[in-house]
């Protein structure tokens, strides 16, 4: 595709996203606006790299040694989503990216119910770690719906006091089949109503319905690794066209055989409005170098 057409398409999408984002940012206090701008780039888009999976999954495949997974990918991420333990042990304070601190947990894959989370990390600790945002899961429709929503509300109260944005994660636990537009729209809207500044959800069919009902920026997670790279490029592209501001995409990047090629291709969709085909071409040419 000629550069000028791609640039023009990118510029149009960017203008639209910027307007949306700036509306929010203009009404924020300086500290909150500054932290939001650390994680969401000036084009209004964002690539968050989640490496928090160990907090309930243990040594997840290809995240067994977090430092080895994180460092090759860090240059291409706008922010990392991470627990305090992995942050302190596996990320150098003088060589990092903006941090979104995972502050909910207390459950495991083999425990009774993944939804039964509490807040694991205080706001004081988040400030001490100089994070840009904090993240917490909510479990709509679960036995612990109310607890997880009240946890979110408390965290928002604390975060607003110190100018720290809260990202709500619309978690489904082991019930991956829940990920449809009706359920995700419900979850995202509730998260926004309770004060989340950003909502992380899953891509789904009719994704525009999810974004339309959510008055704060939405980022997409990937869930377990899918069959092909193209499938990832297609859902990320589709979600962006339908109003997501970016991704919080983990396993489909770092469980890929060529994770650097993968993150570069995803980055091109998010920040250069590359099509799935262009992303696939970039992936194919970059994987030779890994
Ligand atoms: C798991 C999370 C992850 O941050 C989120 O699910 C994104 O990762 P992936 O793309 O691998 O699903 O909240 O704790």
What pLDDT shows up at residue 290? 77
Q: How many domains would you assign to the chain?
A: 1
Report pLDDT for 36: 97
Judged against a pLDDT cut of 90, whether residue 275 lies above it is answered with: yes
Q: What is the arithmetic mean of pLDDT over 68-88? A: 98
Q: Tens of pLDDT along 163-207?
A: 999 999 999 877 777 779 999 999 999 999 999 999 999 999 999
Residue 21 has pLDDT above 80, yes or no: no
Please report the pLDDT score of residue 18 as a whole number. 58
Question: Of the residues 39, 46, 48, 50, which should be mutated to test ligand 1's pocket, given the most ligand atoms within 8 Å of the CB?
Answer: 50
What is the whole-number distance in angstroms between the Cα of residue 251 and the centre of ligand 1?
Answer: 7
**DSSP-derived secondary structure for 117-156:** -EE-S-HHHHHHTT-SEEEEEE-TTSTTHHHHHHHHHHHH
Bridging pattern class, strands 133-138 and 166-170: parallel
Which residues span the domain enclosing 231?
3-287
71 Cβ partners below 8 Å, 6+ apart? none
Nearest CA to ligand 1 atom 7: 221
pLDDT tens figures, 124-134: 999 999 999 99
Indicate if the pLDDT at residue 26 is higher than 80.
no
Q: CATH number of the domain at 112, please.
A: 3.20.20.70
pLDDT of residue 1: 47
Report d(CA 132, CA 136) in Å as an integer.
Answer: 14
Mean pLDDT across the stretch 251-265? 98
pTM of the model: 0.91
């Amino acid at each position: 595709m000629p550069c000028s057409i791609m640039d023009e398409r990118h510029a149009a999408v960017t203008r639209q996203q910027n307007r949306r984002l700036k509306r929010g940012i203009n009404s924020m206090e300086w500290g909150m606006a500054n932290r939001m701008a650390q994680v969401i780039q000036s084009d209004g888009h964002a690539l968050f790299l989640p490496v928090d999976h160990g907090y309930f999954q243990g040594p997840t495949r290809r995240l067994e040694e977090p430092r080895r997974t994180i460092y090759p990918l860090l240059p291409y991420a706008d922010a990392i989503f991470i627990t305090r333990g992995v942050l302190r042990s596996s990320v150098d304070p003088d060589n990092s990216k903006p941090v979104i601190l995972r502050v909910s947990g207390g459950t495991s894959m083999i425990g009774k119910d993944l939804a039964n989370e509490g807040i694991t990390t205080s706001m004081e600790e988040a400030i001490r770690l100089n994070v840009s945002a904090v993240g917490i899961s909510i479990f709509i429709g679960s036995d612990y719906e109310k607890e997880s929503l009240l946890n979110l509300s408390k965290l928002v109260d604390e975060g607003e006091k110190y100018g720290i944005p809260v990202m709500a994660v619309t978690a489904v636990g082991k019930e991956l089949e829940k990920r449809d537009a009706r359920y995700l729209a419900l979850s995202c809207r509730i998260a926004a109503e309770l004060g989340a500044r950003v909502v992380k959800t899953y891509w789904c069919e009719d994704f525009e319905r999810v974004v339309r009902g959510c008055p704060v920026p939405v980022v997409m997670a990937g869930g377990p690794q899918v069959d092909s790279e193209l499938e990832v490029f297609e859902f990320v592209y589709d979600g962006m066209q339908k109003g997501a501001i970016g991704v919080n995409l983990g396993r489909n990047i770092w469980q890929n055989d060529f994770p650097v090629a993968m993150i570069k291709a995803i980055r091109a969709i998010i920040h250069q409005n590359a099509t799935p085909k262009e992303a696939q071409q970039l992936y194919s040419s970059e994987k030779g170098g890994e």
